[in-house]
Structure 1
Amino acid sequence: MEEYKRLKRELVANGVILDYYQDTMLIPNGNVAKWDLIDHKGAAAVVAVREDGKLLMVRQYRNALERETLEIPAGGLNGREEPTEAAAVRELEEETGYTCGQVELLNSIYTTVAFCNEKIDIYLARDLKPGKQHLDEDENINVEAYSVEELKQMIFDCKIQDSKTICGILTYAAKFAPESA
């Protein structure tokens, strides 16, 4: 494969959770192109499985979609250096009130590779213990629980459209609940 070369990177805007850059790129065929880049510090998500086999889900309003979504618990890292496992455990407790005794990596995804470097590590959490939510001031999250079969049907019916949630649920189903895969 021929080489692409970045000629210039310009910061267009700083955001709270991401920065927007415009890159000037030299393409192998000799053309010069402008490419957008969204720089994200990363995130972690968690498929939390109760003893009864149901998965904890969070229902919350998402401004970008102007509606509520049903998702696995997740959130951004508190800086690029924060271990994603620690972030997943923190987000599980903050959003659902549950703590966990066991965590393991399920999958890692890049959400939008054409223009964004956001990476989300998705963990499996077991040995859950209920507690109290610790929501941010701008969060209003309802915690719900569903079977793997119910969630898969919601994915197939296009009721769940969030990529990390789809990836987490289907990876869990394939690896740990193969009878439902």
Structure 2
Amino acid sequence: MVESVGDAASLRDESHPVEVVSSERAFAGKVWDIRRETFRYGDGEVVREFVDHTGAVAVLALDADERVLLIQQYRHPIGERDWELPAGLLDIAGEDPAVAAGRELEEEADLVAGSLQLLTEFYTTPGGSNESIRIYLARDLTATAEVFARAEEEADILVEWVPLDDAVAAVLDGRLHNSILMLGVLTAAAARDRGWSTLRDSGDSTIGPGGA
């Protein structure tokens, strides 16, 4: 057992590199792969399989009336049309995550952000995936010059502007379940209550981009 940090100000995640003995793609998927790695930890070797993910971005678009833009679309793994924030994969090599976030906002909501700031970032499932997601706060919004064509699950996206406090209430009441939306609106509400002093520049990330 390791002693606790003691000082709350020093509470933070820590990088902990280990020796990777072997790494192989166990399954090649259409969107992401399953990777199997053997690494040394403690006195022995450990084998783990995990989703090798490109990483993703999401956008919490907030208008002048403190309404957040939510979209609803079908998600097959859960068999539901859930409410979400506009989001997408970091699947263009070398693309800046903030640029990707702006692109997703345009493609999914037909909006252009005049400003983008980093709201929060997180690992979705550290025990089973290396997926990291950055959520950006988008403000000073204007409409795109044209409406984007959408296909597959995005073809029938619904768009709704919801007061931020109403979105927070829906999360706390258990009516919304998408993790990115939940973390985004709760973090936005907390940041607003602190005068937005917790926002970071769009490029001021502290986590990895996802899979190698």
Structure 2 length normalisation: TM-score?
Answer: 0.76
- Residue 122 of structure 1 and its aligned partner are, at CA, apart by 0.8
In structure 1, the residue matched to 2:22 is 8
2:181 is aligned, of 165, 169, 177, to 165
Q: Letter of the aligned partner of 2:52 in structure 1? A: D
Gap regions ≥5 residues in structure 2: 3-15, 196-212
In structure 1, the residue matched to 2:41 is 27
- Residue 5 of structure 1 and its aligned partner are, at CA, apart by 3.4
Higher strand fraction: Structure 1 or Structure 2?
Answer: 1
Listed as ranges, the matches of 1:25-104 within 5 Å are 25-30=39-44, 32-104=45-117
Q: Letter of the aligned partner of 1:124 in structure 2? A: L
Structure 1 residue 17 and structure 2 residue 31: aligned? yes
Structure 1 residue 108 and structure 2 residue 124: aligned? no
Q: Letter of the aligned partner of 1:150 in structure 2? A: D
Q: Choose 141-150 or 159-168, whichever is displaced more.
A: 159-168
Structure 1 residue 154 and structure 2 residue 170: aligned? yes
In structure 2, the residue matched to 1:176 is 192
Identity %: 33
Gap regions ≥5 residues in structure 1: none
8 A contact 1:42–1:80 mirrored in 2:
no
Q: Letter of the aligned partner of 1:161 in structure 2? A: H
Cα distance in 2 between the residues matched to 1:99 and 1:105: 16
Cα distance in 1 between the residues matched to 2:162 and 2:93: 32
Number of aligned residue pairs: 178
SS at match of 1:117: coil
Cα distance in 1 between the residues matched to 2:168 and 2:147: 26
SS at match of 1:153: helix
1:134 is aligned, of 148, 158, 183, to 148
- Residue 33 of structure 1 and its aligned partner are, at CA, apart by 3.1
- Residue 87 of structure 1 and its aligned partner are, at CA, apart by 0.9
- Residue 17 of structure 1 and its aligned partner are, at CA, apart by 2.4
- Residue 175 of structure 1 and its aligned partner are, at CA, apart by 1.0
- Residue 130 of structure 1 and its aligned partner are, at CA, apart by 2.7
SS at match of 1:64: coil
Q: Letter of the aligned partner of 1:33 in structure 2? A: V
Q: Choose 63-72 or 9-18, whichever is displaced more.
A: 9-18
Structure 1 runs of 4+ off > 3 angstroms? 1-5
